[in-house]
Chain A
Amino acid sequence: EVQLVESGGGLVQPGRSLRLSCAASGFIFDDYVIYWVRQAPGKGLEWVSSISWNSVGIAYADSVKGRFTISRDNAKNSLYLQMNSLRVEDTAFYYCAKGIVPTIAPQNWIDSWGQGTLVTVSS
């Protein structure tokens, strides 16, 4: 069974940093592209970032480009999101999600989601 468990969320002040982690199990981690998708409380889903199986392919939403960095450690079956210069509008549940192929491709979809970790940016 595919399992994705996010951690690292919490309350942080605007301008500060936070690092999210996602522990994966139940599948061959380095066979798949992995995503971060966020959802502000009571709002819709927003794609944040994608990373290919070998970390060569990386993409970011414009809203986080230059502030967030996605990375993965295939030896540890783990995904990370380093979030710098956090803003109030970054407040959201952050989901780790698994794609269906190894590389970033337009026709990809997400077939498994974690339960999310809440990041609250507030002074």
Chain B
Amino acid sequence: QSVLTQPPSVSGAPGQRVTISCTGSSSNIGAGYDVHWYQQLPGTAPKLLIYGNNNRPSGVPDRFSGSNSGTSASLAITGLRAEDEADYYCQSYDSSLSAVVFGGGTKLTVL
């Protein structure tokens, strides 16, 4: 059971917008710790997608955006493309555990 809760799967058609939620608690997201997002394409290592809640590393398209509010964060992907099909993970820090924590991951299927 992950400290950060993500939906196991989401799906959308090409061109559509999808969001992936990441629900935490008062000891992680709710405490003000930043949320970061990673994309893991099939058979590959994770890759940084969003850092510091809503910042994109160089090379990440602006179709990807992050936000957070209260004890939750969200990743939004607009203009869905087939190559976006991957697993997505949120990550933060938990002060009660004194640990880096990941969400359980969300599999995005592009229909």
Interface set of A (CB-CB < 8 Å, partner B): 35, 37, 44-47, 50, 59, 61-62, 95, 100, 106-116
Contacts and interface: CB of A to CB of B under 8 A. Distances in A.
A-B pairs, top 3 by smallest CB distance, nearest first, are A47-B100, A106-B93, A109-B36
A100 B48 CA distance: 12
B105 A45 contact: yes
Interface in B1-57: 2, 33-34, 36, 38, 44-48, 51-52, 57
Nearest to A109: B36
Nearest to B57: A111
A47 B98 CA distance: 12
A110 B38 contact: yes
Nearest to B55: A109
B99 A47 contact: yes
B93 A107 contact: yes
Contacts of B100: 35, 47, 50, 108
B46 A113 contact: yes
Interface in B86-105: 89, 91, 93, 95, 97-105
Interface of B: 2, 33-34, 36, 38, 44-48, 51-52, 57, 89, 91, 93, 95, 97-105
A109 B51 contact: yes
Contacts of B101: 47
B99 A61 contact: yes
Given A47-B100, A95-B45, A114-B45, 8 more contacts: A35-B100, A37-B102, A44-B2, A44-B102, A107-B33, A113-B45, A113-B46, A115-B44
A113 B47 contact: yes
Contact of A115 (B2, B45, B57, B102): B45
A109 B46 CA distance: 12
A45 B89 contact: yes
Contacts of B93: 106-108
B89 A109 contact: no
Contacts of A47: 99-102
7 contacts: A44-B105, A47-B102, A61-B99, A100-B51, A106-B95, A109-B34, A110-B48
